[in-house]
Amino acid sequence: MLGYILKRLLYAVPVTLAVSIICFSLVQLAPGDPLTVVLPADASQEIVDQTRARYGLDKPLPTQYLLWLSNVLQGDLGTSIASGRSVSSEIGHAIGYTLSVAVLACLLALVAGLALGLVAGYTMGSPMDKIASATAISGVSVPHYWLGIVLVVFFSVKLGWFPAMGAGRSGQSLGDALSFMILPVLTMAAMPAGIITRSVRALVAEKLGQEFVTALRAKGMTSPHIFAHVVKNAAPTALAVIGVQMGYLMAGSILVETVFAWPGTGLLLNNAILTRDIPLLQGTILVLALIFVALNLIVDILQPLFDPRIQRA
C-alpha cells in the first residue's frame, strides 16, 4: 500500500513538470514578442529592462523556463497587465469563490447522483428508471452556461427568488451570501450529478445481479440489508467520480462564472482573455491545472482505502 502511494506520488512529478512546461509555453504561443505579451503597452524602458532581466528573456528557452519555474516555486506568478497587481494575489482573492461553489456543487451532485442512480438501478426498465436516466443524460449533455441562463430566467427574472449575478457585498449575512450561490451551484452540479447517476445505476444493476446479493437473499436477509450492501459498494465509485469532477468543475467554472459574474477564477480567466492579460491567464491556468492534478492524485490514493477490492500492486 505504502509502495503504491509512493509510486503514485513519484508518477505525479513528471506530470506536474509537464503541466508547468505547457503553462510556460503559453506565453511563447501568444503572438508577438514575449516581452510585449507580458507587459502593458505603455511600460517604461526601465520596467522593460527589469522584466527582461528577471525572466531572462534574452537567454535561451530552457533557461527562461527554469527562471520562470523558480519564480513560480517562490509564489511569484508575475504581474497582471490589466490591474498591475501580482497574479498570485488576484488568484488568492478569486479562488475562494470558485472553491466554495465547486464544493457545494459536488456535495449536491453526490447526493442527487447517488439518489437518482440508486432509484434507476433498483427499478431498471421501469418508468422511474427512464425518468432518472433521462435526467442524467440531460445533465451530461446540457451546455451548463445555457442552463445557468435558463435558471436565471426562471428563478431570478420570472420568480425573483434569487439574485441573478454577482456575489453580493462584504459583510452580508450568511443567508444572503448563500442566495447568491444557489444558482451557480445548481448549474455546476448538473454535469457531475448526471455522470454519477449513470455510473451508480450501472453499478447497482451489476451488484443486484451478482451472486452475493442472491446469497444474502437466500440467507433471508431483508431488503434494507441488501440496500445497505449495494450503497456500500456504490459509494466508492461515486466518490471517485466526484473527486475527478471537482477538478473539472473548478476548471469549467470559466463559463458558469461568466454567466453569473461570479468573482472567481473563471471570471478572472474571462477578464484575462478580454484584456489579453497573458500573465494572469498563464498563472490562473497553472493553478487550476495543478489543483486538477492534485485531486486526481488524491482520488487515486484514497480509492483503494475506500474499496479494498481494488488491489494495487
Note the residues at the interface with other proteins (CB under 8 A). Answer: 3, 15-16, 18-19, 22-23, 26-27, 29-31, 137-138, 140-143, 145-147, 149-150, 152-153, 157-158, 164, 247-248, 251-252, 254-255, 258-259, 269-270, 272-274, 276, 278, 281-282, 285, 288-289, 292-293, 296, 313
- Distance, first Cα to last Cα, the chain: 8
Q: Is the Cβ of residue 39 or residue 230 nearer to other proteins in the bound state?
A: 39
- Give the closest residue to 196 by CA, choosing from 253, 139, 142, 248: 139
**At closest approach, how far in Å is the CB of 144 from other proteins?**
8
**At closest approach, how far in Å is the CB of 288 from other proteins?**
6
Q: Is the Cβ of residue 25 or residue 50 nearer to other proteins in the bound state?
A: 25
Q: Is the Cβ of residue 292 or residue 306 nearer to other proteins in the bound state?
A: 292
**At closest approach, how far in Å is the CB of 128 from other proteins?**
18
CB contact set of 236 (below 8 Å; sequence gap of 6+)? 303, 306, 307
Q: How far apart are CA 275 and CA 256, in angstroms?
A: 19
**At closest approach, how far in Å is the CB of 231 from other proteins?**
26
In the chain, what's the furthest Cα-to-Cα distance? 84
CB contact set of 300 (below 8 Å; sequence gap of 6+)? 8
Q: Is the Cβ of residue 116 or residue 230 nearer to other proteins in the bound state?
A: 116
Q: Is the Cβ of residue 107 or residue 134 nearer to other proteins in the bound state?
A: 134
**At closest approach, how far in Å is the CB of 262 from other proteins?**
14
Q: How far apart are CA 253 and CA 125, in angstroms?
A: 35
Q: How far apart are CA 213 and CA 223, in angstroms?
A: 10
What are the phi and psi torsion angles at 199 (to 5°)? Answer: -75, -35
CB 131 within 8 A of CB 227: no
**At closest approach, how far in Å is the CB of 19 from other proteins?**
5
Q: Is the Cβ of residue 72 or residue 230 nearer to other proteins in the bound state?
A: 72
Q: How far apart are CA 284 and CA 86, in angstroms?
A: 12
